[in-house]
Structure 1
Amino acid sequence: MTNKEVVASDDGVANKWYIIYPQYINTNLSLYKGRRLAKTECVTDPKSTEIKDVLESLNCFQVVCDLNKVYSREVDKELIQNRGYVKYALIRNKQTEEVIVGNKFDDKKKVLEYVAKMIPKLKTRTKVNTQQSGSQQSQQSQSQTNKKNKKKK
């Protein structure tokens, strides 16, 4: 299935499928390597599963995640940590009509901006950040005590 393939939904309105690769919102990449947004709006090393979680939480997208695919601009395709892509289509029904009428997700760029804002708020990201900051603080305190001990000798 391609990203422009049309699928009919339950109420007869046709939906297009769009694809999001994690490289589209990665701050560590340049525009040439595939980043689509400004660095200030992007996230460091997003994963396709995180993008999937954000889109599924809205309940107005039909989401499919494929972890075996690789972005075409990747140089070393065997050692990639952020593999895969997320394919999504907007579901048009009575429950999601408010979101659609508000023009919140008119185009792919608005969806990318929303995903980039919401990924840092995921529980998996906050747990990782607190563990890293805790280990960094303990390393800093150890290095400070080592410096003090060296001065005393």
Structure 2
Amino acid sequence: MESQSPVPNIKKWVVLYPIYINSKKTIAEGRRICVTKACEYPTCVEIGDCCGHLKLPYAIEIDKAYPRDFMQRGRVRVQLKREDGTLNNPAIPSRKQLMLHVAELVPRHPGRTKKQEPASTPSSSGASKSGKGGKKKRAQS
């Protein structure tokens, strides 16, 4: 006998880890969208706020961590579809679309204005490191 509780079953909601949309991570480290569309170091709160802006129900789980990077705590659960199967936001039919929309909104988050300043530092000085790299050859005896 199952009793239907008024609390939504968030176990069926889509899980979104900040690493999925972090432009500073590689695909192997867990990024799920291309670097050009990803954003720098998103937080769970920013992702949650963006989901709220997109009119999607969400829940932030602070006690959870991404298995490949368990030092970074937190994830966001988002409800894409209602219990009857209809979409909460017709513009976001899939998990991939959700990641792309959230990654686009996070840099414009109100708490982010101070983080964007370091990008204007002159990094193309050219004298920092020569382009020669690779393995050193072992001396043969």
What TM-score do the two structures reach when normalised by structure 2?
Answer: 0.67
Pairing partner for 2:67 from 65, 68, 72? 72
Kept in 2, the 8 Å contact 1:41–1:117? The answer is: yes
CA positional deviation for 1:35: 0.5
TM-score by length of 1: 0.62
Q: Following TM superposition, by how much is the alpha carbon of 1:30 offset from its aligned partner in structure 2, in angstroms?
A: 1.0
- Superposed CA RMSD: 2.9
User: C-alpha distance in 2, partners of 1:119/1:52?
Assistant: 10
- Determine the structure 1 residue equivalent to 2:24: 28
Q: Which amino acid aligns with 2:79?
A: A
Q: Which runs of 5+ in 2 are unaligned?
A: 123-141
Shift of 1:50: 0.6
Give the alignment partner of residue 99 of structure 2, picking from 104, 112, 130: 112
SS in 2 for 1:126: helix
Any idea what the Cα deviations from partners look like across 1:97-117, whole Å, max 9, x if unmatched? Answer: 7942xxx21110000000000
1:49 aligns with 2:51: no
CA distance in 2 between counterparts of 1:50 and 1:108 reads 17
SS at match of 1:56: helix
Point out where structure 1 has 5 or more consecutive residues left out of the alignment. 1-6, 10-14, 138-153
Instruction: Output aligned runs, 1:1-153, within 5 Å.
Output: 16-59=12-55, 61-74=56-69, 77=70, 80=71, 82-90=72-80, 92=82, 99-100=89-90, 104-130=91-117, 132=118
Aligned residues: 112
Give distance in 1, aligned partners of 2:26 and 2:119.
Answer: 27
Deviations 1:66-94 (A, max 9, x none): 112110111xx3xx3x42000010365xx
* Residue type at the aligned position of 1:58: L
What percentage of aligned pairs have identical amino acids?
29
CA distance in 1, matches of 2:14, 2:88: 21
